[in-house]
Structure 1
């Protein structure tokens, strides 16, 4: 017998169908690594072998249907070619160089092998158990695959993970019906909007006196009121407690208050104060705006973050409070729910306004009212501009346009109406709350 035939006889693979698929090979290499001082050598941990298994014959029953093409001459045996590439993982790295290395092979993910079809139920159950174990192993492999590690990327590059969100600019990308809905809502809001109004205030006392004059002298009320902007100096508890917001806001009405993460506690105190706003407004929703870059004008300043705080809280919160009774499922003439999401991300079209335009759009798409007021109590600085907007009255120390007249404003409201009229296509496209 030749040396090659002897080597082939030694390289036998045992197949055990009772236990988990396990291959153990004994390979004798042609070139043996030079021995170490101890007379032993190491196997490389990255060694990969390619193995092709020989054809395996299995006993089958003559009455087996669907495998007639594979039956032998006597109808009792079939031959199923079984070939696969195995990645062999060395488990015994330190062996004697005069002896063949013993290597444990990993099992393949899926192998079809023909076996006897007259197995009893116990063997079938054992085979199902083996398949389940193999499937669990495949899940572990999929879970451990390489993924985008944005946390590690932030450590090396300084770029925040949510900067890589693809639909930050157009959240309804890929949804043609929602895109059509957004376009119709924008046209409808612009059609029934008043001219841009601005009211310049010189001090906090001037703001309080003007609001009291609007309430008591002109009997003016607004259905939507927004307070503050994306700056740290807006939520001033003593000032807001003096404003007649409960009398300035009609019922039902909506109040939007901006606050940074560090000012949430003051906002909670303001809403629970028994002397001011308690039981007059109740918190309903919360809008969140997130800047995507540390160079953004909306990113919180370092002095506003406590020194002993490990993580930086960069998001801005806008609480939506309701006064009066509003039902999501029935009051379709007042509100349109579920049109926009409550999370907004900064994009390249956000600009440097004191309040991003996408926040205004969320409020306009939610409420059908045409009477909207935005109060910015203090200056926002030179980096954040206060811009006028159609359909809004903006009161701020930094506003350039100062053209607000209560009588003229009431005439404009009487001309366009207090609510945006019903639109059939918008009503058909918008998401509806179940009754």
Structure 2
């Protein structure tokens, strides 16, 4: 056994979406045009710095409800993956996450993207979607590569034998959306549900959903994005300038 620090998925070839749709000219053209539209129409990211354990999500505060909601909670699983840094990392219990009033700010129809890790969060995430009024319609799997930053050594999750190298994002839908008549809301068959990449595939949301009002809950500094209204977490973060990240 040799620990090279390189993940096996680093060696999977032709991962770019353009390679996947090479034999489908209409789909390739749709992806190109959609990327251009997103680039031109994306608004400057806006954020509100708050403590989500004290702040109650409400449409009256935002002045609107949202078409797309991205939720990336600090699950306990994430702390277990980094032994020795737990005292510096705040995590939320399943009950605390489920008690968020996501249903209060979700429009009809609307979509939610909930990151759940790679363990018990899969089942707990489904329960959250049900409580918030969504039904699960897709499970997006992010298989992590580390081509640029190979792991220097083995760092095992304190609760498992093997190190996790994938994450799951549950996609939920509220209301009724039909592919044949609602192309102004959602684009079907435009991306894959297994994404092999080094960085989190946040851009996949823009490919799936054609929506104007987008909201990001539990945001860190590295994922404040164009077209999103964001609740910053933790609340003591320094202000972020309105630049593209």
TM range (shorter): 0.7 to 0.9
Change (3 A) 1:361 1:266: same
Output the aligned Cα RMSD. Answer: 3.0
Decide which structure has the larger Cα Rg and report it. 1
Structure 2 CA distance for aligned equivalents of residues 235 and 252 of structure 1: 28
**Do 1:374 and 1:393's aligned partners in 2 also have CA atoms closer than 8 Å?**
yes
**Do 1:258 and 1:316's aligned partners in 2 also have CA atoms closer than 8 Å?**
yes
**2:69 corresponding residue in structure 1:** 225
User: Do structure 1's residue 167 and structure 2's residue 14 form an aligned pair?
Assistant: yes
Structure 2 CA distance for aligned equivalents of residues 243 and 187 of structure 1: 35
Displacement of 1:402: 7.6
**2:128 corresponding residue in structure 1:** 270
Structure 2 CA distance for aligned equivalents of residues 396 and 386 of structure 1: 11
**Do 2:155 and 2:163's aligned partners in 1 also have CA atoms closer than 8 Å?**
no
Displacement of 1:327: 1.4
Change (3 A) 1:373 1:271: closer
Structure 2 CA distance for aligned equivalents of residues 286 and 337 of structure 1: 14
Q: Which runs of 5+ in 2 are unaligned?
A: 80-90
**2:84 corresponding residue in structure 1:** none
User: Do structure 1's residue 401 and structure 2's residue 240 form an aligned pair?
Assistant: yes
Change (3 A) 1:400 1:301: farther
Structure 2 CA distance for aligned equivalents of residues 195 and 158 of structure 1: 38
Structure 2 CA distance for aligned equivalents of residues 367 and 197 of structure 1: 20
TM-score using structure 2 length? 0.76
**1:316 corresponding residue in structure 2:** 167
Q: Per-residue CA shift, 1:311-354, capped at 9, x if unaligned?
A: 4442100000111111123211211101011111124xx3xxxx
Alignment of 1:116-131 (within 5 A): none
Which one scores higher on RCO, CA 8 angstroms, separation ≥ 6? 2
Q: Per-residue CA shift, 1:88-135, capped at 9, x if unaligned?
A: xxxxxxxxxxxxxxxxxxxxxxxxxxxxxxxxxxxxxxxxxxxxxxxx
Instruction: State the aligned residue count.
Output: 219
Displacement of 1:198: 2.0
Q: Per-residue CA shift, 1:234-269, capped at 9, x if unaligned?
A: 664222222211120100000110011122232234
Question: Normalized per residue, which structure has more strand?
Answer: 2
| 3-state SS of 1:303 partner | coil
**Do 1:199 and 1:399's aligned partners in 2 also have CA atoms closer than 8 Å?**
no
User: Paired residue for 1:287, among 137, 140, 148?
Assistant: 140
User: Do structure 1's residue 239 and structure 2's residue 96 form an aligned pair?
Assistant: yes
Change (3 A) 1:316 1:339: same
Structure 2 CA distance for aligned equivalents of residues 302 and 216 of structure 1: 45
**Do 2:43 and 2:227's aligned partners in 1 also have CA atoms closer than 8 Å?**
yes
Change (3 A) 1:281 1:391: same
TM-score using structure 1 length? 0.45
**1:388 corresponding residue in structure 2:** 224
Alignment of 1:77-226 (within 5 A): 157=4, 159-168=6-15, 170-173=16-19, 175=22, 177=25, 178-201=27-50, 203-206=51-54, 208-209=55-56, 211-212=57-58, 215-217=59-61, 219-226=63-70
Change (3 A) 1:301 1:283: farther
**1:328 corresponding residue in structure 2:** 179
| 3-state SS of 1:205 partner | coil
User: Do structure 1's residue 302 and structure 2's residue 156 form an aligned pair?
Assistant: yes
Displacement of 1:283: 0.5
Q: Which runs of 5+ in 1 are unaligned?
A: 1-153, 351-355, 404-435
User: Paired residue for 2:215, among 338, 348, 373?
Assistant: 373
| 3-state SS of 2:42 partner | coil
Structure 2 CA distance for aligned equivalents of residues 365 and 259 of structure 1: 21
Change (3 A) 1:264 1:235: farther
Following TM superposition, where does structure 1 have runs of at least 4 consecutive aligned residues deviating by more than 6 angstroms?
none
